[in-house]
Chains A and B, each alone.
Chain A
Amino acid sequence: AQSVTQPDIHITVSEGASLELRCNYSYGATPYLFWYVQSPGQGLQLLLKYFSGDTLVQGIKGFEAEFKRSQSSFNLRKPSVHWSDAAEYFCAVALRGSASKIIFGSGTRLSIRP
């Protein structure tokens, strides 16, 4: 069955420290890959996406993610976090040709330590 795994439920990092959020997927073929962010009570904002091409993807707010086919992973990184990055982060996948049907991971809640 298709699935997305985010192994970390909650992560706390200090402001200015680096961040890596893990994501693994299980799919028959390489899907489209996304990272979304959600602030409390809000909708989802797309941080970045991978459809094809360069496996290192740059997104908004200084985030980047690397697609590793051999590990079925799409980890999100940021070199230096800001207090405003505190939110819930969702890794997501969609089948090629069906990008509108998105399967989400369970999310990772990010807290920032002053």
Chain B
Amino acid sequence: KAGVTQTPRYLIKTRGQQVTLSCSPISGHRSVSWYQQTPGQGLQFLFEYFSETQRNKGNFPGRFSGRQFSNSRSEMNVSTLELGDSALYLCASSLDRGTQNTEAFFGQGTRLTVV
């Protein structure tokens, strides 16, 4: 069974540009969450999508957005990039059978460097 796949693995962008990261969840998983990991702030929750709807949102500016498609694949977009957006962006998927929660499985991450 394939795991969570994130593309690309590495990305270098210039300040002011925008970027789109992609995440393909484990087959059958309908919940996809995104996290930002930096040395200073650690691992922080960005947002979660379930059945194409944003269900939870962390404390990030509106420059960070996401969406989920009907096949559960998800993308996150960061506009007007800042140096501080340099981070490892992790995607996680979970089965989420209504009230029966399950654990989240993480992808390898996308390393974004803003120069």
Chain A interface residues toward B at CB < 8 A: 32, 34, 36, 41-46, 49, 51, 90, 94, 96-107
Residue of B4, B45, B107 with highest tally of chain A CB at under 10 A: B45
Q: For the complex, would chain A's binding face be called helix, strand, loop or mixed by DSSP majority?
A: loop
Rounded to whole angstroms, the CA-CA distance of A97 and B98 in the bound complex is 8
Contact flags (1/0) for B42-67 with A, using CB distance below 8 Å?
11110010100001101000000000
Give B108's nearest chain A residue, CB to CB.
A43
Q: Known contacts A43-B109, A44-B90: does B104 contact A99 (CB below 8 Å)?
A: yes
Q: Which residue of A lies closest to B32 (CB)?
A: A100
**Cβ of A100 and Cβ of B104 under 8 Å apart?**
yes
Residues of B within 8 A of A (CB): 4, 31, 33, 35, 42-45, 48, 50, 55-56, 58, 90, 92, 94, 96, 99, 101-109, 111
B103 interface neighbour in A49, A103, A105, Cβ under 8 Å: A49
Q: Are A102 and B104 in contact (CB under 8 A)?
A: yes
- Neighbouring A residues of B43 by C-beta, 8 Å: 90, 104, 107
* Contact A46-B109, Cβ < 8 Å, known A100-B48, A100-B92, A103-B45: no
